[in-house]
Structure 1
């Protein structure tokens, strides 16, 4: 059994980027006594690097099939976690292949969110590129963004930033499925909705994306005993009817950095609410 990330299409969809809206400041009378100037402090952290249109921390809403920068307190579908220039010699084909930069995006997701357990959540990365016109004019940058999968395999609307969102555990971002993850017609849902399967924390590394993908039997031999132990520990005997399972990365996504196995708990009947405690 194997499962891969196939939402939003397997290739990046290039959208035109519209600028954000601004409002004119309102005039106010000056104070009778000028306030003392605020102390100037300098942060030891450098500002996020920007290459092209985006920088880390930008939130993007989809408006008229295009991404528009918007305040993170407003509803949005994507959050940029990094941007950078493409290395010299990057293929000139358009739209570009996401495979060479996807491992960078996955690694940055873990750093930005505060956990290696991203594959056990509903969060996935998206690679953003220049427009076709910008690419033709010589623009060579990419940006990594986080999007949340909703039950219809679309980008869910969110408010607030996701920075550090997994530092205390999976929380409300844990990935649950209406049926077995590999069953026909199963849907990804929040665990507060009826579901029969849910991912557990502590994903299991299977190797490096620079090496050949391991055989299915090899991965199962490595992962399944650990999942059986993990699920038994999480449930502590409270759900003898629950069984452990494994989600392995699809081999076609291995070179893109999908290199971890995810354990999950499966129940014969739907449940609401998470079965396993945070670890």
Structure 2
């Protein structure tokens, strides 16, 4: 497939898969008496760098976005806006990188499923290609996310069954225009360029993502806990905790370089029901501090916190 031609112009639906639809769950060994237990609440990203509890509507591109025969190749860096779907060199500003272009299953109905159904379907198809492109399954601990594109109703009626599996960097709900490729971006040290840090405690239901060099009280730790597929049911919280608790204890110890500190606690954030259906199928481990810090806790050991 190629994007050089302009012969067929059709409408696409574009939906981000946001890495913020989680509820918080503090480890019982570290939670204060008034923070014990777990809460579940719908959460999604809003514009800017904030994160709030609300539903996210699909972004609809207008009719003059290119159609099926002009789709980009895997590995292409793409500019997506209200009038184009253009492949560019990755050294140029772009918003989307194509991990893979797939064909949807042949047994789908002739009438196009609604967008929520297609989103769930696309996640089962695109999660693995996105992770392979980034080199890790740790997307939920970062500002990187899958971004899927499928045919419009008109294209569907014409027999189009393609699916573009892409990845993007988010600022809230909006893709960031960036340069350079994200291929392998979550392998090793590059993870920390995209790491989620939270302005307030990650044990709270709603979090605000901030750059990690600004004052923050939470840092997502590499090594998310896979919990299943979006086509499965969300596991019970007790089953999640049984798996996530020992995993996070080890992940945090490796992150800090010390087994425990009185001024740092381990927090787990688990998917909400809506987040689960939207592809957030892992628990994320965090370190949380009592006071804001201005630098990373990676490898801090027993040194003073960077307040």
**Superposition RMSD in Å:** 2.9
The offset of 1:51, in angstroms, is: 7.1
Deviations 1:182-213 (A, max 9, x none): 64663223322322111101111223444432
SS at 2:128 equivalent: helix
TM-score (normalizing by structure 2): 0.70
Within the alignment, does 1:251 sit opposite 2:270 as a pair? no
Within the alignment, does 1:15 sit opposite 2:15 as a pair? no
Within the alignment, does 1:187 sit opposite 2:208 as a pair? yes
Structure 2 match to 1:261: 283
The offset of 1:94, in angstroms, is: 5.6
SS at 2:137 equivalent: coil
Taking the TM superposition and a 5 Å limit, the aligned residue runs for 1:30-41 are none
The offset of 1:132, in angstroms, is: 4.0
The offset of 1:164, in angstroms, is: 1.1
8 Å CA contact 2:61–2:81 kept in 1: the answer is no
Structure 2 match to 1:26: none
CA distance in 2, matches of 1:208, 1:95: 20
Deviations 1:153-180 (A, max 9, x none): 3211211111111122412111111112
Taking the TM superposition and a 5 Å limit, the aligned residue runs for 1:197-236 are 197-236=218-257
CA distance in 2, matches of 1:2, 1:122: 22
8 Å CA contact 1:100–1:256 kept in 2: the answer is no
Structure 1 match to 2:100: 82
The offset of 1:215, in angstroms, is: 0.7
Taking the TM superposition and a 5 Å limit, the aligned residue runs for 1:19-30 are none
* Structure with bigger gyration radius: 1
Structure with higher RCO (Cα < 8 A, 6+ apart): 2
The offset of 1:259, in angstroms, is: 2.2
CA distance in 2, matches of 1:104, 1:79: 16
The offset of 1:135, in angstroms, is: 2.7
Segments of structure 2 that go 5 or more residues without pairing to the other structure are: 1-38, 47-54, 301-307
Q: Which of 163, 166, 188 is matched with 2:183 structurally?
A: 163
The offset of 1:243, in angstroms, is: 0.9
Q: Which of 43, 66, 69 is matched with 2:87 structurally?
A: 69
CA distance in 2, matches of 1:201, 1:51: 39
SS at 2:239 equivalent: helix
CA distance in 2, matches of 1:244, 1:81: 33
Within the alignment, does 1:273 sit opposite 2:291 as a pair? no
SS at 2:121 equivalent: coil
SS at 1:197 equivalent: strand
Q: Which moved more, 1:104-113 or 1:152-161?
A: 152-161
